[in-house]
Amino acid sequence: MSSVTPIVVSIGNPLLDITVPVADGPKYLEKYTLKANDAILAEDKHLPIYQEIVKNPGVTYVAGGAAQNAARGASYLLPAGSVAYIGSVGDDDLAKTLTDVNEKEGVVSKYQVQPAPSQTGACAVILSNHDRSLVTTLRAAEQFTKDHLAKPEVASTLAAAKIIYIEGYFLTHGIESALEVAKHASATGRTVVLNLSAPFIPQFFKVQLEELLPHVDVLIGNESEAAAYAEAAGLGDASLAQIATTLAGFSKSNASRPRLVIVTQGADSTLVASSSPSASPANLSATDANPKTYPVPKLPADKIIDTNGAGDMFAGGFLGALALGKSLDEAVEAGHKLGQLCVGQNGATLPFPKAQI
Ligand code: 26A
Flag whether the pTM goes above 0.90.
yes
* Binding site membership of 123 for ligand 1 (Cβ less than 6 Å): yes
Highest mean pLDDT among 54-63, 121-130, 316-325, 342-351: 316-325
Q: What number of CA atoms fall less than 13 Å from residue 311's CA on the CB side?
A: 27
Is there a contact between 216 and 192 (Cβ–Cβ < 8 Å)? yes
Q: State the distance from the centre of ligand 1 to the C-alpha of 320, rounded, in angstroms.
A: 20
pLDDT for 2: 52
Question: Whole-angstrom Cα distance, residue 36 to residue 128?
Answer: 8
Nearest residue CA, atom 1 of ligand 1? 169
Q: State the distance from the centre of ligand 1 to the C-alpha of 89, rounded, in angstroms.
A: 14
Counting from 1 in the atom list of ligand 1, the atom nearest the Cα of 347 is 21
Share of the chain above pLDDT 70, in %: 99
Nearest residue CA, atom 14 of ligand 1? 66
* Binding site membership of 41 for ligand 1 (Cβ less than 6 Å): yes
**Residue, of 233 and 38, whose pLDDT is higher:** 233
* Binding site membership of 254 for ligand 1 (Cβ less than 6 Å): no
Given a cut of 80, whether residue 130 has pLDDT beyond it is no
* Binding site membership of 15 for ligand 1 (Cβ less than 6 Å): yes
Q: State the distance from the centre of ligand 1 to the C-alpha of 28, rounded, in angstroms.
A: 20
* Binding site membership of 308 for ligand 1 (Cβ less than 6 Å): yes
Q: State the distance from the centre of ligand 1 to the C-alpha of 65, rounded, in angstroms.
A: 5
How many degrees, rounded to 5, is the angle at CA 73 between CA 71 and CA 79?
85
Q: State the distance from the centre of ligand 1 to the C-alpha of 285, rounded, in angstroms.
A: 34
Average pLDDT over residues 216-232: 98
Tell me the average pLDDT of the chain.
96
Q: What is the pLDDT of residues 97-124, one digit of tens each?
A: 999 999 999 999 999 999 999 999 999 9
Active site residues: 312
Which residue of 197, 314, 345 sits with most ligand 1 atoms within 8 Å of its CB, as the best mutation to test the pocket?
A: 197
Given a cut of 70, whether residue 145 has pLDDT beyond it is yes
Whether this model's ipTM surpasses 0.90 comes out as yes
Average pLDDT over residues 309-314: 97
Given a cut of 90, whether residue 167 has pLDDT beyond it is yes
Question: Whole-angstrom Cα distance, residue 225 to residue 28?
Answer: 25
Q: State the distance from the centre of ligand 1 to the C-alpha of 15, rounded, in angstroms.
A: 7
The partner residues of 169 in beta bridges, in order of sequence, read none
Q: What is the pLDDT of residues 317-345, one digit of tens each?
A: 999 999 999 999 999 999 999 999 999 99
* Binding site membership of 136 for ligand 1 (Cβ less than 6 Å): yes
* Residue 139 confidence class, pLDDT cut points 50, 70, 90: very high
Question: Whole-angstrom Cα distance, residue 134 to residue 284?
Answer: 34
pLDDT for 37: 87
Counting from 1 in the atom list of ligand 1, the atom nearest the Cα of 12 is 8
pLDDT for 132: 87
* Binding site membership of 312 for ligand 1 (Cβ less than 6 Å): yes
Which residue of 11, 18, 134 sits with most ligand 1 atoms within 8 Å of its CB, as the best mutation to test the pocket?
A: 134
pLDDT for 131: 81
Question: What single DSSP character describes residue 2?
Answer: -
* Binding site membership of 317 for ligand 1 (Cβ less than 6 Å): no
Backbone angles phi, psi at 237, to 5 degrees: -105, 20
DSSP states along 312-333:
HHHHHHHHHHHHTT--HHHHHH
Counting from 1 in the atom list of ligand 1, the atom nearest the Cα of 138 is 1
Backbone angles phi, psi at 323, to 5 degrees: -60, -30
Q: State the distance from the centre of ligand 1 to the C-alpha of 106, rounded, in angstroms.
A: 21
Lowest-pLDDT range of 118-132, 187-201, 259-273: 118-132
Q: How far does CA 252 lie from the centroid of its chain?
A: 22
pLDDT for 307: 85
Is there a contact between 244 and 264 (Cβ–Cβ < 8 Å)? no
Q: What is the pLDDT of residues 259-306, one digit of tens each?
A: 999 999 999 999 999 999 999 999 999 999 999 999 999 999 899 888
